Amino acid sequence: MRADKNVRPVSRRRALLGIAAAGVAGCSRVEFIAANLPTVFGAYTRHADIPYGSDPRQRLDVYLPDKPPATDKTMVVFWYGGRWTTGDKSQYRFVGAALAELGYVAVLPNYRHYPDVKLPGFMDDAARAALWATMHAGGYGVDPGRVYVMGHSAGAHMAALLVLDTRYFAATGHPVPAIAGVIGLSGPYDFLPLLDADVRDMFGPPANYPASQPINFVRSDAPPMLLVHGLQDDTVWPKNSRNLATALAALGVAVDLKLYPRCGHADTVAALSLPARGRAPTLADLAAFLSLPASS
């Protein structure tokens, strides 16, 4: 029987919120190589290491489809997971390729990690990258009103918190952009209490803990959201997505909750790679979500 906690009771060091402490998205180096190898031959063009800030970690890659749609061009900004402490955009080339091959312009930013920064450091990076996307969308033939944000695990937390708590956008000194929607894969959105010392530190002091929780910022004018979670996730409890979906729906926000019965934490994002397409219907679900009118 599962305990009604945010994270399943595996080891305390791995548990907390959501991202395997040992690796990005729970994948080994060999798995990343296998996922990314087919992308070498993809129908897209990649522009790498474009700066969106002055720090070496503030760089992003843009994936352009070789055959973009004639209308309704869409941009998706994707943040990888890694417990806010590890990871690199190059490991998720398969995500950019999958999105581009569906006809979307994909933006994959790096961001600063703990312990180099704490909250709001990595959230400031998220705001700057998303603003870069909205400000440059027109140059890629994208309507700025069709920019979506997306993430897996810690990246899903960042995407949701960025859109729901607009203080991070406001802190840049620019107007808050109209993000068309949010796609969260296996994200931690409602994960108090904080158990591990490093996570308490990165989100602390304790008075600030509530500000780390996307669920505390739900509002009726939030954009539509697609929340995807595997029911066999032993890193981030599925209740994170369930609770956020319930809170959003109660305020009338359009939210689509997809729960995959036989999927674990990494499966929701791994299913975007060619070798693991059969693990979950993530690609079809996000394509359906992105095909909706941006104002829905």
Residue 292, SS3 per DSSP = coil
The pLDDT, as a whole number, for residue 241 is 98
Picking from 93, 87, 166, the residue whose alpha carbon sits closest to that of residue 126 is 166
State yes or no: pLDDT of 117 exceeds 90.
Answer: yes
State yes or no: pLDDT of 35 exceeds 80.
Answer: no
Residue 190: pLDDT band with limits 50, 70, 90: very high
Q: What is the 3-state secondary structure (H, E, C) of 61-122?
A: EEEEECCCCCCCCCEEEEECCCCCCCCCHHHHHHHHHHHHHCCCEEEEECCCCCCCCCCCHH
The tally of CA atoms less than 13 A away on the side-chain side of residue 157 is 23
Give CA–CA dist 79/215, Å, rounded: 19
Q: What's the average model confidence in pLDDT over 199-219?
A: 98
What is the residue type of 61?
D
Give CA–CA dist 178/186, Å, rounded: 24
pTM of the model: 0.89
In 147-200, beta strands by DSSP E: 147-152, 181-185
The pLDDT, as a whole number, for residue 72 is 82
Give CA–CA dist 226/224, Å, rounded: 7
The pLDDT, as a whole number, for residue 5 is 33
What is the residue type of 171?
A
Q: Which residue has the higher pLDDT, 151 or 16?
A: 151
The pLDDT, as a whole number, for residue 19 is 31
Candidate CATH numbers 3.40.50.300, 3.10.129.10, 1.10.760.10, 3.40.50.1820; the one for domain 12-290: 3.40.50.1820
Q: What is the mean pLDDT of the chain?
A: 89
pLDDT digits (tens, 9 = 90+) for 59-116: 999 999 998 887 889 999 999 999 999 999 999 999 999 999 999 999 999 999 999 9
State yes or no: pLDDT of 12 exceeds 50.
Answer: no
State yes or no: pLDDT of 17 exceeds 90.
Answer: no
